[in-house]
Amino acid sequence: MKLWLAIAATLLLATSAQTQSDTSSGRAFLPSCLAAADIVQGKRPAADSDEMAKQLRRAAICFGAVTAIMNLEPFLKPEYAACPPANSKVTSNQVVLIVTDHLKAHPEQLNNNFHQLAATALAAAWPCGK
């Protein structure tokens, strides 16, 4: 009996750890970034509808994540550095579209960490000179 309890506890912990790591994957963030991209591109449900509220809640996750990445970008490793054109103001709308396009273009990477994928997308969009 103790052996079965130990096995069940181990499986529960392993499943829990796997579920927690999935919450930071590109796959977990993709729906929120698709919703954010729709908002940026003007594709919105009727105002004051339940669908609009749902889209806004979903999109807020992506907007928050890309805002954090934009603010932390100067502290990232050089391979994740992004160098937007000089004298340009980068907006969260631009970043959402770049990141969402990258996620859609690389479905094989969706199990990877979203924040790393987003930083990679920005570095690819705005590479730094060597």
For the chain, what percent of residues have pLDDT higher than 90? 50
What pLDDT does 30 receive? 96
pLDDT at 54 over 80: yes
Rounded Cα gap, residues 28 and 24, in angstroms? 6
pLDDT at 59 over 80: yes
What pLDDT does 105 receive? 97
pLDDT digits (tens, 9 = 90+) for 62-117: 999 999 998 888 888 888 889 888 888 889 999 999 999 999 999 999 999 999 99
Q: What number of other Cβ atoms are within 10 A of residue 40's Cβ? A: 19
Domain layout of the chain by residue ranges: 25-125
Q: What number of other Cβ atoms are within 10 A of residue 109's Cβ? A: 16
82 touches 125 (CB < 8 A)? yes
